[in-house]
Structure 1
Amino acid sequence: MSYEEEIVKYLATLQVGEILSRKQIIEGVHNLYGRNKSSIIPSDYCYNIVNYDIRAHDFEKGHPRLLEWIECGKYRYLGMNYPYTGIITHKGRIVGNWKNGTYFVNIDYQE
């Protein structure tokens, strides 16, 4: 099973709206599957933040979106295909947004 599948399976055991710390997510996946803790990056699975240039990323082919970043080290579980509405940030700058589960890239964004 890939690390993505392990993270998706672990998070699917949660209730929508449940809030977890980064540590809880990493420990949960590690304890269930023995996955190396450094390979578990919760922010890669967020609707509202990206860790790299959004133009280089295709949300439909990239990591599944499952979480909402609340603040440093804190996430809300929303699940796959959630009708999320909100902004997407990269290094604190708005790079796009979601509206009812559809994402839009801010074409004016420059790294």
Structure 2
Amino acid sequence: MDINRATASYTALTDPEKDQFKTLLSQHRVQMSLYTKQQNSVLEILDFINNTVGCSLRTHMQALSTLYDILKALKKRLAPTDRVRRLELARKYHALKKAPGTQALDMGLPQ
């Protein structure tokens, strides 16, 4: 049963409509409570990010308004790209190929 929208006040509702209204109001309060908790959590995360991110990175976040956009911008700025990962891996590989320059080569050979 739906509530008559043309009714001007709560007292003009019938008993079944009043019960329906109370049920809908209760559901709305639960949804608002959940929404408020979620908003508070998002604000806490934003506050944590603002307190931990350095000044140089805050310039990338100034014009952004949503948590998703801020996290995306920080990831773009901080996460290494595939090209950078390949270059770093190649640098490590070339460093491993070099013989140690300060040690004698026959140090570990038995005599």
TM over 0.5: no
TM-score category, normalised to shorter length: under 0.3
What TM-score do you get using the length of structure 1 for normalisation? 0.23
What TM-score do you get using the length of structure 2 for normalisation? 0.23
Q: Greater share of helix residues, 1 or 2?
A: 2
